[in-house]
Structure 1
Amino acid sequence: MRWVCVLFPQLALDAVLRQRPDPDEPLALLTGPAQRRVLQAVNLSARALGLRPGQTMTAAQALSKGFVTAEYDAAEIEYWQQFLAAWAYRFSAQVSVHYPRTLLFEIESSLGLFGSWPQLEARLRTELTDLGFRHRIVAAPNPVAARVLANAYDGLVVPDGAALQQHLGRLPVDRIGLPQNVAIALSRMGLRNLSQVQTLPRASLARRFPADVLKHLDALLGARRLALTFYLPPDRFDVRIELNFDVQSHQALLFPLKRLTADLSAFLCGRDSGVQRFTLHLEHAGLPDSLIKVGLLSAERDAAMLFELARGRLEQVQVAAPVRGFRLSAEDLPAFVPQRQELFDDRPQQSLPWEQLRERLRARLGDEAVHGLGFQADHRPERSWLANGERHPCVANPCVQRPGWLLREPLAVHEGSARILMGPERIESGWWDGDDVRRDYYLIQTRSGQHGWAYRTVGEGGPLWLQGWFA
């Protein structure tokens, strides 16, 4: 088996930075009581100003005033680790969050689907970078070794037990996952790395140290299996972004909206599902949330499409009060069935599939502006089709020639403005429901070359009446 460890060295910091439009802005996370605020973590821009973790807020402000702060929240770390586990679930059914700020997942059985390990590693790195999380990735024969090697390496691949023994043997004793007091005791005994520790008799180690030390060393070398609890994805998605200032324009809400829809897409891909309905919550101070419901005719999970649809609905809403927080929730998560595509797609590069165009039109124009069409068994043209029919295309009838666009009200065709190409075709129907029609229909062509469908009531003179146009 091959296990992958993805270590997130600054998960709390990345979780805050990814919610800000400018990730390069100097930022420090604060912890401690109000009387003595301490810097828990700082980004690279803040380090350039001289800020370091462990400094007091007073000392940091003495060095520079040009940085912003946010609260360090341990619960947020747990939340984002679970979110990343949902993302990793698309690559493996065995995903574990056994270690803090770390993902472990077995990947050997998935390489046949995702390609060779270099291809999969490149994909993991690209997606994590797009999500806004810094990371280190190591692959090893067992999960404990992968986690320990991630402390010292990035991009390392250990193919077998011999290579594992070689890489682990060079690690210092304080980097192999032992408790701090055990690592200090081994160092005082003159043991600097794991290979030197292995030369000691097991009986001697068992007398000097707790039993957990030998268990950890055995698991590290693959002689003992680590019992892991595997992640199961939740049945709903609910993510919130707290805004740094009061927002009153749609434009300022587009960045958090894009981040939320990208997170939703990653979550859906992880659990192999789509979304058909989700809700945007605009949070106000002292007022109920403004709710924007986004509904789709079929399940989707493409990040760009979800963003465009949500953006179209958001721009139709008048922001009633300043927005303090932005939240996206989704509970309707049906199975996602990819659309069948041709091997050679002959669509122009800039064109959209019909399903995406349909959803964008509904988002821009409203649900009532876009309808499906369906046929019903009636010879009368105005009653032969229905709005809000099935979303699948209607099956064409090659035996009859009918226009694709019927007018709301027939228009008189002035004499000399069109010529008859074909006809008449008589339609007599509706005597049983009180709307009897007796018409002779003709295929006509206007002076501009358009083809139309016009009729004249049987037994009456006068002009033809245009009822529809052919495409």
Structure 2
Amino acid sequence: MTGRRIASIWLPQFAMARWARVQAATPRPDPVPWETAAPEPDADAPLVLAAEGPHGPVIHAANAGASQIGASRGMRVVDMQSLCPELIVRPADLAGDAGALVRLSHWARRWCPWSATDGTDGVVLDTTGAAHLWGGEAGMLADMATRLDGLGQAARIAVAPTHGAAWALARHGDAAPICTEAALADRLAPLPVAALRLDGATVLTLRRLGLKRIGDLMAVPRAVLERRFGRDGRMLDTPLRRLDQALGRLPEPVVSPAPPERFRVLRRLPESVMDPQPLLPELMSALCDRLGVAGQGARILRLELYRVDGATARFDAGTARASRDPDHLRRLLEKRFESLDAGFGFDMIALEATRVEDQAAAQVRLDGETESDVAIATLMDRLSARLGVGAVQVPELRESHIPERAERWVPALAGGTRSRAERLAPGGLGGGGLVAAPRRERPVRLLQAPERIEVLYAVPEGPPVRFAWRKRPYRIARHQGPERLAPEWWRARPGTRLRDYYKVEVEEGARYWLFREGIVGDGRGGMPDWFMHGMFP
């Protein structure tokens, strides 16, 4: 233990702060004219993030308002709702939180070479021999707190000779955050036994035995603890083992995982060049070879050009799907050279895939052509590179049974959890004011907004026999339906009426998708209205 220094960073609001940041960055869809948007929760309202537990949802994180009324991690949501009926519950993103914490642990290596995640809300660092680079441990901790505050994360930090002691002081200590080896036992003694990273059942057992503080546990003979809770070799979280780790009697190294591979190629030029574009094919081939070995494809590329006078030019290009085709990726960057200011020339060029995704090797078809979704994605990449990222959009499905709410338009190069094959499915690229329908039994194309039709004659509780749409009369030869869709009561305005959809075929042979809004005598308005909503091929 001699000479070791371990820093523990506790982020009690990590999940909640990340959720708030994601919500702020996610645009809210515009409601359709007859619906109202869900109200934004008040900043001071009690809000919790819930995750599935063994007996129902449990609280994963709570904001300040929920914490003030007693909400804490691990409590059942139903129990908290019985105490606070106005509690707002949102689903927790456990996988997203875990990935963000891993990235934060890699970012924390600015202070030392070794870092790792510490549970679901902390980071541990082995700062041995690194504090002098920051003017001492006090200066290092101040820099940590300042930078984490800039990220919107409230943190409690402690430095001690062992991982266990640093963890305990960061979460349960109330004195100075820096603990020396000489003061280790005295600093740990007044802390509760929960500070030893024990499970809830063990902590409860110790409290029933009268052992509420770590100092109480230190006074118990080792043989008694071994007989009651097991020996060190049997379990990893026994009170005796955790106590020995915190006091430095047992080693507990910080297992620092390797950082993610960085796909970057760099070329230093012996002489400056005015036009670096001829060098791009070689760099792109080298980068794609590395991506192919790792089974990855680039989603975002960054080209960095370093001038001899110290200035740097950076260009980014994105792809609709992961790619490691050097010719295609190179063409996405060609347009960037048109407005390039070379100055006195460039002496270094770097190319990096700043965002990558898994990409399995694909076999070319027997006719030598690529799959249609690959061709469409390639086209979207080129159009986005020339026209701008926001100029090319694709529909993205949303959870709603109301057809016009079942999707939204997003930039084609925007990241998402849905696969590009789903977005680029047949009928997925609408045009001329048309959008794609998300269900196969519905029309291939829907109007962006239903258009009112004039019914000339209708069968009671059935489809119209004659109707006029866009000043043109139609006569229905056959029909199928109805398919009844109820309004979304949690979003719709009071008085919103249900819909009865019909598939109809007119005498000319064209097929349309009509609906009647409301039924006679439903108490939500006068006579029902009829709308045109889509057409079949």
Largest Rg, 1 or 2: 1
Q: TM-score, normalised by structure 2?
A: 0.43
